[in-house]
């Protein structure tokens, strides 16, 4: 009788454990399925990213080729009479003293803009053509936000050639316009001055 009771208890215990084994097995299968799904999604998105990267690379290469082609075309473009060619732009040096705003409008009437200096080579070029100790307006201003200098096309100032201690404008002095100061040695430098001052300018197109 004791043996039968023991066997029954053992069978009862094994039956009691079986649902936990089934649950563990199901949980394990679920984890495997989830892992497989995650791996599948990872492979899918990796392939998508690779395709996007390849497309962007092709677009970039095409833009670079187009930029080179346009630059060659611009370099071969002649300038109108009275204008001076440098790289891909044409420059006009005014012979009449005007305020910064009058100079800006004068450049616009010439289908151009006050010169925007992008690199040292252009800075040296402007300095070489500018007369000794002459100040000329360039397309630089902080009129809209004191201390935040921008070019006339709205681009922020990155490369700078300010003279020592410049710009030193205070709001009450209204020195909100940029001028180019010729120096006997390259590359010349910039100064901030009152926009109502009348002086020459350089237009670029």
Residue pLDDT, tens place only, 10-32: 445 454 456 667 777 788 888 88
Place of tokens 């300018």: 201
* Among candidate residues 35, 53, 76, the one where a domain is terminated: 76
Cβ neighbours of residue 196 closer than 8 Å, sequence gap 6 or more: 99, 100
| Range of the structural domain that residue 199 is part of | 84-204
Q: How many domains does the chain have?
A: 2
For the stretch 145-196, pLDDT in tens is 888 999 999 999 989 999 999 998 655 567 999 999 999 888 999 999 999 9
Q: What is the pLDDT of residue 134?
A: 84
Tokens of 1: 């009788």
Would strands 135-141 and 200-204 be described as parallel, antiparallel, or unpaired?
A: parallel
Residue 92 sits in the same domain as residue 161: yes
- Residue 205 banded pLDDT, cuts 50, 70, 90: very high
Tell me the average pLDDT across 85-100. 95
Tokens of 2: 């004791």
Q: In 10 A of CB 83, how many CB atoms?
A: 17
Q: For the chain, what is the mean pLDDT?
A: 83
């Amino acid at each position: 009788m004791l043996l039968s009771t023991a066997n029954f208890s053992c069978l009862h215990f094994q039956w009691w454990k079986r649902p936990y084994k089934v649950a563990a097995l199901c949980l394990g299968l679920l984890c495997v399925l989830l892992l497989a799904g995650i791996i599948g999604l990872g492979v899918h998105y990796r392939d998508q990213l690779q395709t996007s990267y390849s497309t962007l690379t092709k677009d970039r290469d095409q833009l670079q080729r187009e930029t080179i082609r346009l630059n060659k075309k611009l370099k071969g473009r002649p300038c109108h009479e009275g204008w001076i060619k440098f790289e891909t732009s044409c420059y006009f040096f005014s012979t009449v003293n005007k305020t910064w705003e009058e100079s800006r409008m004068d450049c616009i009437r010439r289908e151009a803009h006050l010169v925007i200096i992008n690199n040292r080579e252009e800075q040296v070029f402007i300095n070489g053509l500018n007369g000794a100790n002459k100040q000329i307006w360039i397309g630089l201003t902080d009129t809209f936000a004191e201390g935040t200098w921008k070019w006339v096309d709205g681009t922020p100032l990155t490369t700078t050639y300010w003279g020592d201690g410049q710009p030193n404008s205070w709001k009450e002095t209204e020195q909100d316009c940029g001028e180019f100061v010729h120096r006997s040695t390259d590359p010349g430098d910039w100064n901030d001055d009152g926009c109502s001052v009348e002086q020459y300018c350089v237009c670029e197109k």
